[in-house]
Structure 1
Amino acid sequence: MSLFIEVKDLTITYDGVNVLKNINLNINEGEVIGILGRSGAGKTILMHALRGAEEYENISGSIIYHLARCDKCGHIDPPSKVGKPCRLCNHEDMKAFDADFVALSQHDHERRSVSMRIAIMLQRTFALYGDDQVVANVMNSLKEIGYTGPDAMSRAMELLEDVCLSHRLMHVARDLSGGEKQRVVLARQLVRNPMFLLADEPTGTLDPRTADIVHDVIEKAVKDYNMTMVITSHWSEVIEKLADKAIILEDGAIISEGEPCKVAKEFMGMVSSIEKNVKVPLGAPIIDVKNLVKKYISVTRGVIHAVNDISFDVKEGEIFGLAGTSGAGKTTTSEMLMGIVAPTKGDIQVRVGDEWVDMTKPGPDNRGRATKYMGILHQEYGLYTHRTIIDNLTESIGIDLPYELAVRKAIKTLVTTGFSEDKAKSILPKMADDISEGERHRVALAQILMKEPNIIIMDEPTGTMDPITKIEVTRSILKAREEMGDTFVIVSHDMDFLHEVCDRVALMRDAKIVSIGEPAEVLSQLTEEERLLVAQGA
């Protein structure tokens, strides 16, 4: 294999913090490199540095691309093409050419010409024309590189076939699933016949079944287009399947490099253990629910019991889980706890200080008195992407404090959710889209904690998260409880997550609570049908 990319002593610094530290990595032509690392380890920064599409003020070291270039038309290919005719103009032998992305400016023609041959897939940024059809999205990419003419439509269809999406070409892009959108993104990137693909957590927000489909499509594209690839993932099995070589990034440094199976096993050993203090002292009940009922009237189905006569309590400082498959009644119960939905009948009491508040009665002296000490984190939490993290934690959520005090409180709260103090300081000036998925979730939890609630309700907090991000979320909840003594009610169909994080679990089935107790005991009562639905993410 020809040496394609040399990364030498690469260091990048933000606000006095080294986010990448003396990175040394060789990437051979045709090789697939897998990068494993926890949220905030530096994976995304490294990917963007390799892409060369942005400038870094504080960067040192080298990112050297070894290439072949045509003297006549300027076309660039991987190093194996040195000495061979240019495939575009058929000019005589292509010459060896090196480009250092650190030494060359972002606006330098040589750096930009290399960047044009690099494709990138990101975790959440689909970058599609949402109102256009799928085939039009690919056609637009062809136009952007000057590919027009009578065969453009045919070429677009070929690309969609390459990503196994020819059955969706007339669909509007915004109506596609996450996995389908990622495949359209890949088709748009393949337009340029890239020599190098950067896949940064491309399936991080997808369920396992959909992720497998996308991974298979990526693997096929890499082989069909003879690409070199660097892929980051929290899924160790993805790295084992796709990569020829793997590395572990930890706190901005490479701490391990080698055969993917061995490196993946080492990585899972680093992150798989969760220290759950089973001896956390719990207080007296802070939530008391008795004979709670919620009925709806449907024209076609008649009376529907969303919640049918349930009773339970939650103790102060407890992490209490509401488990069950979709439609079991979990979310409706949590909405009644928050006062968002009024019960048909029954009683909900929340203790504020030493006094009990009736959540079924509206008004500032009743339900309103309790809800100001309650916070809810929805599955689709939304940070303000156009604002910095410090703004997200203060002004954007109505917290008006002198700036220095706001920063101090924000850092302390971020530390409570599992950030180190240095990391907390470093992310405050960043935009929400500039941090990882796991970090965004912890910032969203910090948003709730900034308002100093006594009770936090979390609706499907892990969603379709990968295993490592789930571990980070679990740790952030346990640490927040340990540091602040808050009470958590967690609604989830993710039984493994509930087993790891909860003190007690209530299992809901057909709008009723069928069991309450220790997580292992209660979750062992799942039926085979429920286990299958859970495995499918339902």
Structure 2
Amino acid sequence: MAPFIEIKDLTVRFGDLEVLSNVNLEIEEGESVGILGRSGAGKSVLMHVLRGVEEFPGISGSVIYHIAICDRCGHVEPPSRVGGQCRCGGTFKASEADFAKLGINDPLRRAVARRIAIMLQRTFALYGDERVIVNVMRAVEDAGETISVHKAADLLDEVNLSHRMMHVARELSGGEKQRVVLARQLAKSPMLLLADEPTGTLDPATAAVVHDSIKRAVRDFKMTMVITSHWQDVMVDLADRAILLDHGKIQAVGDPRTIADQFIAMAGEVGKREPVAVGEPIIRATNLSKRYISIDRGVVKAVDNVSFEVYEREIFGIVGVSGGGKTTLSKIISGLITPTSGFAFVRVGDEWVDMTLLGADGRGRATKYIGVLHQEYTLYPYRTVIENLTEAIGLSLPYELGERKAIHTLTTVGFTEDEAEMILNKYPDELSEGERHRVAMAQVLIKEPRIVVLDEPTGTMDPITKIEVSKSILSAREELEETFVIVSHDMDFVSNVCDRAMLMRNGRVVSIGAPADVLKLLTEEEEREMLGS
């Protein structure tokens, strides 16, 4: 019996760049296949080829879906339904659809694509002002179908979100939004689920909840699944079989744990971090507090009486679980928000600038020397990479100089010089998520700030890219003498790159010291969220 999906000699080119090269893979009906690979390996391109709703002019080979199609209404099911009866009374006949050969508007291709669900790591695609249960009910509107309130409620039970069904979607957390996305996809009764790094931006504890929901849904709905992830535990727990993809080629196929171990081994290590002589204090906070008024919770002490110093050329980590006050504190010292009380100063040259004072004569004197990369960063979608690194951010340079500076900056965030040259004229949607993250980091560094604030910089990165970016931060500190403040819940990353770390809990400082010493003070709950254990 033929496999459900048969990929033969698949090659995809974007211009002169070959992003997938001679890929051969068979996926059985009901099987869960994991795809591991570093950022830019071709994982997302393969997923979008399988989805079948985009045109790929530079495609060759075959992507064949072996299906059962009703001879009366054209409804599509997996191949095991061949010979069975459709709900319309018709009979399912064997057929096949080759997404590499059929045009984007071919009726058969469209019929198969409608039975494929996809989850992406950053695209929630929800009706933000609608309630959760309405979001699920509206999921099938495009197909001209409807589902009952009871069916929508059952789907929310399936993803462990029945306690949020009456909440407005935009007010949910990232993990909750991903589970609504999953419920919306399940509403379409898909025969295949494509999950492309669905938890790449979530902390380990929240990601585990989403993974459990995916595993349960695949089991209960008897779906075939293809999932990409850079987390070893996800591959072992969710995949029956895994493939290792590198530079567009399949390097290995086999047991998920074995393939995951091979992938982790590719990451290498940061290496020994040489001691660096730091300078005088460049950031100084004294008794900082920030309070908000919440209708539900009353007075919220986001930052509560915090004092600390950061030294010039230091890499300083601010760590803690979600809601601990890390991001709020980083926004105060970046000049983005004003504290309720206390003082924050940043040294510019030999002068201390009061970050609590508004205007060009206040914190405006310091903010132009502070670069910030937010967790929810954005690139200009209709500008090329080099435009994103120059004119789009007000950096007016002759093209040759801009190109040289862009390439140099891109190499400091993990690209090789050849890779940097290759992506200069690409648009953001032609890059992988990890590549976009590194371009966004380069967008900050190219302005030559004295202080760089990175908010959860490794949320979307695979282990290999994380090692490369760790090295690039250490290199940028050495070459450019920059000071880094890194907000993170990734203690492994903080331990690799930071000289000191400050643990925050409920808005207050618990400890400041060497990352290894701070690690010893984590509670069990903090260990689960920050170490994924």
Q: TM-score, normalised by structure 2?
A: 0.86
**Residues 59 and 421 of structure 1, relative CA distance in 2, 3 Å threshold:** farther
- Equivalent residue for 1:450? 446
Can you give the 5+ residue segments of structure 2 that lack an aligned partner in the other structure?
none
One-letter amino acid of the counterpart of residue 481, structure 1: R
Structure 2 residue corresponding to 1:495, chosen from 491, 494, 497: 491
Aligned partners of 2:472 and 2:250: how far apart in 1?
25
Aligned partners of 1:345 and 1:208: how far apart in 2?
33
User: Rg larger in 1 or in 2?
Assistant: 1
Between 1:151-160 and 1:184-193, the stretch displaced more is 151-160
The reply on whether 1:285 has 2:284 as its aligned counterpart is no
1:99 CA drift (Å): 1.6
- Equivalent residue for 1:3? 3
Between 1:330-339 and 1:109-118, the stretch displaced more is 330-339
The reply on whether 1:56 has 2:53 as its aligned counterpart is no
1:145 CA drift (Å): 2.2
Aligned partners of 1:188 and 1:295: how far apart in 2?
41
Structure 2 residue corresponding to 1:170, chosen from 166, 169, 173: 166
SS of the equivalent of 1:141 reads helix
Aligned partners of 1:313 and 1:145: how far apart in 2?
56
Aligned partners of 1:99 and 1:324: how far apart in 2?
50
The reply on whether 1:406 has 2:394 as its aligned counterpart is no
- Equivalent residue for 1:132? 130
- Equivalent residue for 1:350? 347
**Residues 450 and 304 of structure 1, relative CA distance in 2, 3 Å threshold:** closer
Q: Is the 8 A contact 1:63 1:101 kept in 2?
A: yes
Total equivalences in the alignment? 523
One-letter amino acid of the counterpart of residue 256, structure 2: P
**Residues 157 and 328 of structure 1, relative CA distance in 2, 3 Å threshold:** closer
Q: Is the 8 A contact 2:289 2:339 kept in 1?
A: no
The reply on whether 1:88 has 2:87 as its aligned counterpart is yes
Aligned partners of 1:321 and 1:327: how far apart in 2?
16
- 1:105-146 per-position Cα deviation (integer Å, ceiling 9, x unaligned): 111122112111111111111112222222222322333323
Q: Is the 8 A contact 2:457 2:488 kept in 1?
A: yes
Q: Is the 8 A contact 2:290 2:340 kept in 1?
A: no
Can you give the 5+ residue segments of structure 1 that lack an aligned partner in the other structure?
none
1:457 CA drift (Å): 2.6
One-letter amino acid of the counterpart of residue 16, structure 1: D
1:451 CA drift (Å): 0.5
Aligned partners of 2:325 and 2:191: how far apart in 1?
51
- Equivalent residue for 1:234? 230
Q: Is the 8 A contact 2:38 2:462 kept in 1?
A: no
Counterparts in 2 of 1:168-207, with a 5 A limit? 168-207=164-203
One-letter amino acid of the counterpart of residue 267, structure 1: F
1:171 CA drift (Å): 2.4
**Residues 53 and 349 of structure 1, relative CA distance in 2, 3 Å threshold:** closer
Aligned partners of 1:166 and 1:195: how far apart in 2?
24
**Residues 511 and 227 of structure 1, relative CA distance in 2, 3 Å threshold:** closer
Report percent identity of matched pairs. 53
One-letter amino acid of the counterpart of residue 14, structure 2: Y
- Equivalent residue for 2:270? 275
One-letter amino acid of the counterpart of residue 395, structure 2: I
Counterparts in 2 of 1:248-327, with a 5 A limit? 248-271=244-267, 273-279=268-274, 281-282=276-277, 284-285=279-280, 287=282, 289=284, 292-294=286-288, 306-307=304-305, 310=308, 312=309, 314-316=311-313, 318-323=314-319
Aligned partners of 1:106 and 1:11: how far apart in 2?
18
1:281 CA drift (Å): 4.6
The reply on whether 1:420 has 2:420 as its aligned counterpart is no
Between 1:449-458 and 1:162-171, the stretch displaced more is 162-171
One-letter amino acid of the counterpart of residue 270, structure 2: E
SS of the equivalent of 1:11 reads strand
Aligned partners of 1:130 and 1:303: how far apart in 2?
27
**Residues 330 and 259 of structure 1, relative CA distance in 2, 3 Å threshold:** closer
One-letter amino acid of the counterpart of residue 177, structure 1: S
1:255 CA drift (Å): 0.9
One-letter amino acid of the counterpart of residue 165, structure 1: L
Aligned partners of 1:217 and 1:347: how far apart in 2?
43
- 1:329-371 per-position Cα deviation (integer Å, ceiling 9, x unaligned): 766765565455579777956363xxx1222387878865554
Q: Is the 8 A contact 1:388 1:432 kept in 2?
A: yes
Q: Is the 8 A contact 1:159 1:187 kept in 2?
A: yes
Q: Is the 8 A contact 1:307 1:511 kept in 2?
A: yes
One-letter amino acid of the counterpart of residue 399, structure 1: L
Between 1:53-62 and 1:369-378, the stretch displaced more is 369-378
Between 1:159-168 and 1:332-341, the stretch displaced more is 332-341
- 1:444-485 per-position Cα deviation (integer Å, ceiling 9, x unaligned): 211111101233233443468776665454344234334534
Aligned partners of 1:452 and 1:495: how far apart in 2?
27
- Equivalent residue for 2:528? 535
1:53 CA drift (Å): 0.7
SS of the equivalent of 2:155 reads helix
**Residues 7 and 487 of structure 1, relative CA distance in 2, 3 Å threshold:** same
